[in-house]
């Protein structure tokens, strides 16, 4: 029996994809403790760039009409800049985003009476990129242990990008089943940090947020701005083209065939799930 190229079909195989699922936790306190907020974004363009998810956790003090929108402004700038760099790698896009924020917000940063605490991080595949200004912590739960990412030089690298407010990038690898907690390191959280770490290791995202809610119910002054991330592993179909042996190809006919026009390739886009305890929603600027 003769075998022709039409008998060799593309193979559909599963590929492993790492995706984060997130839960936003915002428990505000009295105005004198400042304004806090968190933001989570997911790249909805071509998956070929793999820019992944972008996250912002922030607090500003004092909180008034002229300053309370600052966290929202940083988040909007970060989102616009990061996802506009479609030809860049995640690290290049993240670095350029920090430079843009430093440039646009330099007048705010010069105000000595304004206290700004903001953390930004991106998760793109197995890579995590982090930068901070002020009181911000991000911890990793792995193998029943909690790791302070910003202070762990064995697993994560630190790179200086410029002598400005957002000046350093901490980078490293994440694994399936890892959990990440990024939060404003205010007094409410730091005085309970040991218990927070224990809850984070032992509990899932929903149970963890419920635990923090119970602390808030017992103490109305408790303040928390955090993003809980669970790193999941999924299987997605990937089409692999089969290579055909030259001797099996049909002989070309003597006449010229019409040129084949390229067909569009559709990219399957997946979104990061997000859930926020606070009912507050801020629109992009």
Q: Percentage helix, strand, coil, to 5, in the chain?
A: 25, 35, 40
**Whole-number percent of the chain with pLDDT over 70:** 73
Q: How far apart are CA 8 and CA 245, in angstroms?
A: 10
pLDDT over threshold 90, residue 20: no
CA separation (Å) from 192 to 54, 186, 209?
27, 10, 15
pLDDT of 260 strictly over 50: no
Q: The whole model's pTM is what? A: 0.76
Mean pLDDT calculated for residue range 238-253: 54
pLDDT value for 278: 45
Angle in degrees, CA 62, 170, 176, rounded to 5: 110
- pLDDT, one tens digit per residue, over 140-158 is 999 999 999 998 877 788 8
Over the chain, what is the mean pLDDT? 81
Q: Is the dihedral of CA 135, 65, 103, 226 positive or negative?
A: positive
- Position 163 scores a pLDDT of 52
């Amino acid at each position: 029996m003769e075998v022709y190229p039409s008998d060799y079909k593309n193979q559909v195989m599963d590929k492993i994809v790492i995706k984060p699922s997130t839960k936003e936790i915002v428990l505000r306190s009295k105005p004198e403790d400042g304004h806090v907020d968190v933001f989570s974004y997911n790249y909805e363009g071509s998956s070929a760039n793999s820019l992944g998810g972008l996250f912002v956790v922030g607090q500003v003090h004092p909180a008034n009409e002229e300053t309370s929108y600052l966290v929202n402004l940083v988040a909007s700038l970060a989102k616009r800049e990061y996802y506009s760099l479609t030809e860049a790698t995640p690290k290049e896009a993240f670095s350029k985003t920090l430079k843009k924020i430093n440039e646009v917000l330099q007048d705010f940063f010069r105000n000595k009476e304004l206290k700004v605490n903001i953390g930004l991080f991106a998760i793109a595949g197995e890579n995590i990129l982090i930068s901070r200004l002020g009181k911000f912590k991000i911890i990793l739960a792995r193998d029943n242990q909690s790791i302070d990412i910003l202070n762990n030089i064995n697993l994560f690298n630190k790179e200086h990008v410029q002598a400005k407010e957002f000046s350093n990038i901490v980078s490293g690898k994440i694994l399936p089943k890892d959990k990440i907690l990024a939060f404003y390191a205010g007094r409410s959280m730091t005085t309970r940090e040991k218990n927070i770490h224990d809850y984070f290791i032992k509990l899932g995202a929903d149970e963890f947020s419920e635990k923090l809610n119970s602390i808030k119910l017992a103490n109305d002054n408790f303040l928390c701005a955090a993003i809980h991330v669970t790193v999941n592993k999924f299987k997605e179909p990937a089409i692999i083209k089969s290579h055909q042996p030259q001797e099996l190809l049909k002989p070309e006919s003597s006449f010229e065939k019409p040129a084949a026009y390229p067909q569009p390739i559709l990219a399957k886009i997946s979104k990061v799930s997000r859930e926020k305890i606070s009912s507050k929603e801020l629109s992009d600027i």
